[in-house]
Structure 1
């Protein structure tokens, strides 16, 4: 008997050892009317590309880091997705009617069909943002309450849904409500053209007014929670920084150390790095090192490093990159070296760039003010060769002053690449010796430009 019991136990142990542990989810689907070649599954700490075949089908095994909420993107469209280990879910979608056509089947379909329905219903209510946020306070709250009740009803009617999903999504619905209330505060006055508008004292619930953003799970699970947390952090930082970012160092960003959610800190650093790791910031290197040591996101570190490497030789006092033999609108060719001995204020622009054109009146005023000073105003177009005649005509029609030049190879011009220019308009100030004063100088419409030029020209 003991021998038989031992054999049975041994068989049981072997059987347990052979029982596979499912640590993945299967996702498949079919996409109609789309030119997209990949579908992307993404969360704060996970990203996977799924190849879409020529017939619109796709299938893959996803080793997800945890059960929870993800985003599925196909082309420019995206939708929330809930995945858990053991799921085998398939979706069908028509890209021309994305939200309206999404339908899931298989293990995991229940949660995701709910999310698709919620997205569609919420989208219908908020489709016209102007009308939605122009409602008076009572009518706006009524709309929110009706939407909340409808979503709660859909959630409560789910069968075979994951218990953690149900609990998390119930909380997410509250965050959705809070986010829209917060948006109303910001948008109602703008849409209704009520200058100085403020909501009534009891418009926001006390729980929202005192909300502390320290829930890492909610930051991953709720786009609304994420948006509110990010907005609160960035608003507080910009209030502290003010308008002048020419000398921002780590000490002005100590608030990052108070962020409890690492994913939120990562997102804030990723955003701030876009303009603080800049040659226009005299503490660029210190900021770069501070950001790099405070983020855990490898992609952000790589982007920060790439930006820093491009900009480290563009700080004040470094020799300016050169351009040579650019076509001059008045005839002949001009090189930057031809202007040595003068300050040079360079406007990098294009005829198709709306913000560039809006700076023209201010640029004319600045040119007029400093007309007799030792400074040359140079406008360098990066229009493509096919738009050469359009450039010529616009210079004539708008009676543009200064030196009007055309770069030799639009965005691919060496001067543009050497200055790491990724967006226009971009303004650069160079001193008479050919050294950089500012690789990202103030715009003509910014009063700080007058201050900078007067300081340099000792007026």
Structure 2
């Protein structure tokens, strides 16, 4: 009788313990034309690796692990996509890395939320932000309210996890606030157009120092960037193409790094490793450099276009990835 009692108590303890244990996230991915044999789940806020998943013999990335509910990034070795993860989800992803965002389809528990993120990424990539940022303040504020309303309607019209909806609305609010701040910076920067440009005298990656006056008689397209800046690095391939197209024309392409002094060697190595073209310079006091402060640079990448006489054409010029840049350069150089 005592033995049976002990067994019963033990069985009750096991059942209780199992009931308290939360199920892990179950995730698997089938990726056509994959960019590598591992994928990484990264923390959205700091980019730190949360999980690394290798491919199995069946060509599938599969794993089960505990997560803190929230938004993460999936990195396939080349591109990123956002994911909403929580324990108890059983997510299955199918995609073609050659048609990255457009091909993403999720199934299983948690698929509604993650398909929403994937589809939103495609919609956002097609949104005409250049036209939005070119508006005056009154029209910009009006369009921003319209965009917020439309985005919230999409969230509320679908059967989505309430926690996800609340988090997504918070993130979108933060994103729109950042966009509004950026627009205000553009309006302030545009006041500098037509005036004489502030100058600089910075270390050149090839040796010695280079100042703005060294380019007198030429247009100068300046890229203010840093090695740690993801959006800055994303512009590099487009910048290389623009440099190649206008090679031999009356224009110099100048990149000014605002990395801190402690990352000086990292900058030198990055420029060499990535075979960056143009004139590569290192600002003397990162964000506090006089040239950077004079232009009111508070976010990067930032692009500046100066004419042959040293006057500012655009204090907040179009990015290399924007067709507007080549349109403007064609009008100036041809």
When normalised by structure 2's length, the TM-score is 0.53
Q: Give the aligned partner of residue 278 of structure 1.
A: 185
Secondary structure class of the residue paired with 1:359 = helix
Q: Give the aligned partner of residue 303 of structure 2.
A: 427
1:397 aligns to 2:284 (yes or no):
no
Deviations 1:321-340 (A, max 9, x none): 211x2111122211101111
Deviations 1:361-419 (A, max 9, x none): 22111111000110000011112222222222222222211111111111111011111
1:362 to 238, 241, 248: 238
Q: Give the aligned partner of residue 317 of structure 1.
A: 194
1:248 aligns to 2:135 (yes or no):
yes
1:334 aligns to 2:210 (yes or no):
yes
Q: Is the alpha carbon distance of 1:451 and 1:185 closer, same or farther for their aligned partners in structure 2, counting shifts above 3 Å? A: farther
1:353 to 229, 236, 256: 229
Q: Is the alpha carbon distance of 1:415 and 1:190 closer, same or farther for their aligned partners in structure 2, counting shifts above 3 Å? A: same
Question: How many correspondences in the alignment?
Answer: 217
Bigger Rg, which one: 1
1:438 to 308, 314, 319: 314
1:188 aligns to 2:115 (yes or no):
yes
Distance in 1 of aligned mates of 2:145 and 2:276: 48
Q: Is the alpha carbon distance of 1:274 and 1:329 closer, same or farther for their aligned partners in structure 2, counting shifts above 3 Å? A: same
Q: Is the alpha carbon distance of 1:367 and 1:130 closer, same or farther for their aligned partners in structure 2, counting shifts above 3 Å? A: same
Q: Which runs of 5+ in 1 are unaligned?
A: 1-75, 77-122, 141-183, 198-234, 260-265, 285-307
**Quick check: 1:442–1:449 contact (8 Å CA) kept in 2?**
yes
Q: Is the alpha carbon distance of 1:388 and 1:244 closer, same or farther for their aligned partners in structure 2, counting shifts above 3 Å? A: same
Distance in 1 of aligned mates of 2:332 and 2:218: 11
Q: Is the alpha carbon distance of 1:340 and 1:253 closer, same or farther for their aligned partners in structure 2, counting shifts above 3 Å? A: same
Give matches, 1:180-259, under 5 Å. 187-190=114-117, 243-245=130-132, 247-249=134-136, 250-251=138-139, 253-254=141-142
Q: Which runs of 5+ in 2 are unaligned?
A: 1-44, 46-66, 73-83, 93-105, 149-172
Deviations 1:113-137 (A, max 9, x none): xxxxxxxxxx988799336596999
Secondary structure class of the residue paired with 2:248 = coil
Distance in 2 of aligned mates of 1:186 and 1:398: 37
**Quick check: 2:203–2:282 contact (8 Å CA) kept in 1?**
yes
Q: Is the alpha carbon distance of 1:357 and 1:196 closer, same or farther for their aligned partners in structure 2, counting shifts above 3 Å? A: closer
Distance in 2 of aligned mates of 1:194 and 1:133: 21
**Quick check: 1:319–1:435 contact (8 Å CA) kept in 2?**
yes
